[in-house]
Structure 1
Amino acid sequence: MELRPYQIEANKHIQEEWENGNNKTLLVLPTGLGKTVTFSDLTKTLVSKGERVLIMAHRGELLDQAADKLFKVTGLKTAVEKADDTAENSFYRVTVGSVQTLMREKRLKRFKRDHYDTIIVDEAHHIMASSYQSVLDYFSSAKVLGVTATADRTDKKNLGQYFDSLAYEYSLPDAIRNGYLSPMKALTIPLKIDLSGVAMTAGDFKASDVGSALDPYLYQIADEMIKYCSDRKTVIFLPLVATSKKFRDILNEKGFKAAEVNGESKDRAEILADFDAGKYNVLCNSMLLTEGWDSPEVDCVIMLRPTKSRPLYVQCIGRGLRLAEGKEDCLILDFLWHTERHELVHPANLIAKDDEIAAKMTEKMAELDEEEQPALFDLEEIAEVAESEVVQDRENSLADKLAEMKKRKRKLVDPLQFEMSIQSEDLMNYAPSFVWEMAPASDKQVAALEKFGIFPEEIENAGKATVLLDKLNKRKMAGLTTPKQIRFLESRGFQHVGTWNFDSARKLIDRIAGNGWRIPAGIVPSEYKGT
């Protein structure tokens, strides 16, 4: 199987992280981009070097999928550590293992602590659970790769308690833009479902309360589905098995061909196969199909389980993002859950770079709610508009602070002035995720920043210092302006000097110096365009 460019690049970066001493590293690939294929190819490389590899997950379907894909992609067969099956004394160099089995002390002690050279954890957003940690602690000398489809800023901060680095991330917008995933359309339906009486448990809405709150609206939701997704292949996520079964029956009353699956369904495999074959056009489930299930023809997803968890939401919506012949897009039906107490995850959170942009997108999408008309949105288009507004708001809020900084009589340049001048959004919005990033900048970093002309005391942590130094080094190699050139020229009224090249700025400064440090005649700083 020929890997896609991003898969090749991902495996290259993972191995580089390990070579650089970051033994616990993370790979983020959205659902549908072939993360199993990616780490299968990596496994082949590791085995060719003589390594033993453990692929670990928390569900049997994920382990079966990993073993099957590994064999199809690489020809490698696997030992199994799950229930009655054991990899003890197996001559296979790859093991697929259930974390629920491996966490048991008796099972772990069958293996030497250095038995595995590398551990790959599928669906790694679960890795902080004690079950995973007990296994990883036992095989503490092994390199670790965590693979997940969901790691936004909040998630990365949580995962950063364990992982040393993020080896590679391919964003959902980039995947859609480059034709690897289906475009998304979001339809907001002005049906406000009241969640005011719903309790919280473990940081999210209590499923039993959500089921009760949802019940009175099921017939209305079915009527809306008739309007917008009668000709689509739809998967629906509901809070309870009872609610899922009830909604299946309502949909069949309304003329849909609906089926329902849950953890106790004995005929689950048959129902899923019939859904794939077209016997059913709607599949209801109580949060069962969030991981390890693929049906590329799904082109409509309805989330009737309101949540505060972005990873959960992304996993659900991801079921509809795979490419399929004849499929134009994936429609997300978003019913306007009404709650004043909690921030819900909305379609905007799928594609926004951060929470502020997601909030702006959701705000714009909700504006038409006042007209009580359904509104269809292209998420990429609205993200672009929202992002530009948020960036402008941020620049406006920083303007006064920057003006004060420009007046300071310092030999070194304030980093904020440099960041805004070079229009570096990644620096301005930087937030540390990993433990090492949160530590103070090292003496070596401080010295390097001072050498570049940056005032280091404004740098909050080692992670920001690393990103800034990388940016400065790349700018030097590209022949772009230095921080001191930026400060001098912008103090004279020139704009965004950070986008100019070094020689252009040097020549202008020489002209100003030769003119008694006055701006030469004919030059208007605010209108001057450097090169």
Structure 2
Amino acid sequence: MFSKVIEDRVRLGERVLVLAHRGELLDQASEKLEKSTGLKTALEKAENTSLGSFFRVVVGSVQTMQREKRLRQFPPDYFDTIIVDEAHHCISAGYQFVLKHFEKSNVLGVTATPDRGDMQNLGTYFESLAYEYSLPAAIKSGYLSPITALTIPLQLDLTSVAQQAGDFSTKDLGTALDPYLHQIADEMVKHCSDRKSVVFLPLVKTSKKFRDILNEKGMRAAEVNGESKDRAEILEDFESDKYNVLCNSMLLTEGWDCPSVDCIVVLRPTKVRSLYSQMVGRGTRLFPGKENLLLLDFLWHVERHELCHPAHLIASSDDVAKKMTENIEEAGLDGLAVDIEQAEVQAEKDVISEREEALAKQLAEMRKRKQRLVDPLQFEMSIQAEDLTSYVPSFGWEMGPPSEKQVSALEKLGIMPDAIDNAGKASLMLDRLQKRKEAGLATPKQIRLLEQRGFKNVGTWPFEGASKMINRIAANGWRLPVGVRPMEYVPE
């Protein structure tokens, strides 16, 4: 996708920089660009310089580019467009130093994992989300493998593990994991012996120890780490099925691809969704004969902190993720693996049901209040707009207060603006109201008036049908006409 963007920019006569933080990513960007567009690239890394090159595209290492002496060689307007690969890293100081130098450039960030471990939202830098393609959409479209989650009823106690940089300390995790390695290996023999598995562990020594335990139990396991001199050979042997388990200490989260992997075991519990997504992502590629990706999940016992589970890969909200995790764990007690897409559908139904019960009293009170404008929550529940009810702003402009123009438009359309506290929600609400108007559906005021008199599902009524019933009620002294049963009534 970003190769095509680069091709378009070069056709316009622009100079483009592709910025990344690892050599493998720079090589991948260069190879994919030439393969898909024919464009060759200059390299800005270590002793390699792009200055003087006639190529319009430069692939640059952020570690090299952020050196002040190197950066000063480029005028601030040298690059027209900058593309940041693995853009979830770009909030860091090194990236920001480079991007601020080229402050007039257009910047496109691409990432498969748009969360950051330090919780700084990408919306603090990027102005808008150009395009989003979700994991469930990719699975449904047949571009990624379906994911099946199996919770292993093995309690692993992490209550003594310390925090470090917003996540668990890897040193403490390794120590906490050690007593359970034999039991985990037994579970892998039971569930993964006929699969090609990648295991993520917190420490190199833990990774090596687990490899040895697996081999003792009859598995064909190998281990790779940053110091492995034969890393390329081990990875090649794994791909060619000499091994069926590959243990690593967080080495293979980015820049490595083996489509035949059909089992992921995360023994490095984390609160960081991007890190979790990267680990699981090593097994989501399609491969001939591969039916699904099996994701083994364990019952991590931890105080205060919410861990990432399979549910967090696709859940639309934290509430849904929590309910999904509960449902998957319950199935795991019976030894059942669960398709995570089906689990999400069920969890969403459960959450909506629980939420409706919790809000029933509040909504009943709202309907009694005779207000000129309709409370947005009441309207959202009436039209069953889950996206509005659970909306959380992401980008900077969305987090600000609604504009005067938005407030005026909301009032005009019958919605109480005081209860909408950010511009993003106001924009989403106005868009929904406009679409309902174009579709000829009932207005917020019509819905409230008719619901107050006991009519059901008024959010689905046409505007004309709602108007006719309100006119009949008005003509009858604001009493229900004889013979009209609100609980059963459906407009023509």
Contact 1:157 1:434 in 2 (8 A): no
Q: Which amino acid aligns with 1:476?
A: K
Distance in 1 (CA, whole Å) between partners of 2:421 and 2:377 is 12
- Code of the aligned partner of 1:95: V
Mean Cα displacement is larger for which, 244-253 or 423-432?
244-253
Local SS of the residue matching 1:166: coil
Match status 1:421 vs 2:363: no
In structure 2, distance between residues paired with 1:520 and 1:52: 72
Deviation at 1:102, TM superposition (A): 0.7
Task: Give the distance between the partners of 1:426 and 1:493, measured in 2 at CA.
Answer: 25
Cα distance in 1 for residues equivalent to 2:315 and 2:119: 15
1:479-490 pair list within 5 angstroms: 479-490=440-451
SS at match of 1:224: helix
Distance 2:125 2:301 in 1: 36
1:40 Cα deviation (Å)? 1.1
User: Matched residues in 1 for 2:201 and 2:267: separation?
Assistant: 5
Structure 2 counterpart of 1:104: 67
| Corresponding residue of 2:346 | 385
Match of 2:305 among 324, 342, 345: 342
- Give the alignment of 1:263-278 within 5 angstroms: 263-278=226-241
| 1:144 alignment counterpart | 107
Return closer, same or farther for 1:414/1:153 CA change in 2, 3 Å cut-off. Answer: farther
Look up the equivalent residue of 1:350 and give its one-letter code. Answer: L
Give the conservation status (yes or no) of the 8 Å contact 1:438–1:463. Answer: yes
Task: Quote the offset at 1:151 in angstroms.
Answer: 3.0
Partner of 1:121: 84
Q: Secondary structure at the match of 1:320?
A: coil
Give the secondary structure class of the aligned counterpart of 2:319.
Answer: helix
For structure 1, list consecutive stretches of 5 or more residues without a partner in the other structure. 1-37
The equivalences for 1:412-491 within 5 A come to: 412-491=373-452
Question: Which one of 323, 345, 359 corresponds to residue 286 of structure 2?
Answer: 323
Q: Would the aligned equivalents of 2:150 and 2:328 in 1 still touch at CA under 8 Å?
A: no
Matched residue SS, 1:255: coil
Shift of 1:103: 0.8
Summarize deviations over 1:400-456 as a string: whole Å, max 9, x none. Answer: 222222222222221112111111111111111111111111111111111211111
Q: Does 2:161 match 1:161?
A: no
Question: Which secondary structure does the structure 1 equivalent of 2:131 belong to?
Answer: strand
In 2, Cα distance between the equivalents of 1:107 and 1:269? 32
Q: 2:142 aligns with which of 179, 184, 201?
A: 179
Distance 1:509 1:339 in 2: 56
Q: What is the match of residue 71 of structure 1? A: 34
- Within 5 Å, which residues of 2 pair with 1:192-211? 192-211=155-174
Give the drift of 1:137: 0.6
Which among 259, 262, 272 is matched to residue 222 of structure 2? 259
Please give the residue correspondences for 1:504-523 in structure 2 after superposition, counting only pairs within 5 Å. Answer: 504-523=465-484
1:229 aligns with 2:192: yes
CA distance in 1 between partners of 2:117 and 2:380 (Å): 23
Alpha-carbon contact 1:259-1:282 (below 8 Å) kept:
yes
- When structure 1 is superposed on structure 2, of 84-93 and 128-137 the one drifting more is 84-93
Q: Tell me the equivalent position of 2:255.
A: 292
Q: In the superposition, relative to structure 1, how do residues 152 and 264 fare at CA in structure 2: closer, same or farther (>3 Å)?
A: closer
**Aligned residue among 206, 216, 238 for 2:201:** 238
Which amino acid letter does the alignment assign opposite residue 377 of structure 2? L
| Whole-Å separation in 2 of the counterparts to 1:303 and 1:405 | 47
How far, CA to CA, are the matches of 2:120 and 2:178 in structure 1? 36
Residue 94 (1) aligns with residue 57 (2): yes
Letter of the structure 2 residue corresponding to residue 313 of structure 1: Y
In the alignment, is residue 395 of structure 1 matched against residue 353 of structure 2?
Answer: no
What secondary structure, in the 3-state scheme, does the structure 2 residue paired with 1:404 have?
A: helix
Counterpart AA for 1:292: G
Q: Is the 8 A contact 2:88 2:116 kept in 1?
A: no
Give the letter aligned to residue 447 of structure 1.
Answer: S
C-alpha distance in 2 between matches for 1:346 and 1:46: 40
Q: The residue matched to 1:144 in structure 2 has which SS? A: strand
CA contact (8 A) 2:115 2:122 kept: no
Farther-moved stretch of structure 1 (214-223 vs 114-123): 214-223
CA deviation profile, 1:181-215 (whole Å, cap 9, x unmatched):
11111111122222222221112111111111212
**Distance in 1 (alpha carbons) for counterparts of 2:117 and 2:365:** 32
Q: Report the equivalent of 1:189.
A: 152
CA distance in 2, matches of 1:211, 1:52: 46
Deviations 1:333-356 (A, max 9, x none): 112222234221111211211111
Name the aligned partner's letter for residue 434 of structure 2: N
Partner of 1:518, secondary structure, is coil
Deviation at 1:235, TM superposition (A): 0.6
Q: Distance in 2 between matches of 1:53 and 1:416?
A: 46
Residue number in structure 1 paired with 2:330: 367
2:319 maps to 1:356: yes
- My pick for the range that moved more, 400-409 or 151-160, is 151-160
Q: Deviations over 1:127-162 (max 9, x none)?
A: 111001101111111111111212369998711111
**Matched positions, count:** 492
Structure 2 residue ranges without an equivalent (≥5): none
Post-superposition offset of 1:237: 0.5
- 8 A contact 1:56–1:96 mirrored in 2: yes
Q: Which moved more, 1:285-294 or 1:216-225?
A: 216-225
Instruction: Provide the C-alpha distance between the structure 2 equivalents of 1:380 and 1:241, rounded to a whole number of angstroms.
Output: 34
With normalisation by structure 1, the TM-score equals 0.89
Amino acid at match of 2:224: V
Change (3 A) 1:302 1:154: closer
TM-score by length of 2: 0.96
Does the aligned pair in 1 maintain the 2:252–2:279 contact within 8 Å? Answer: yes
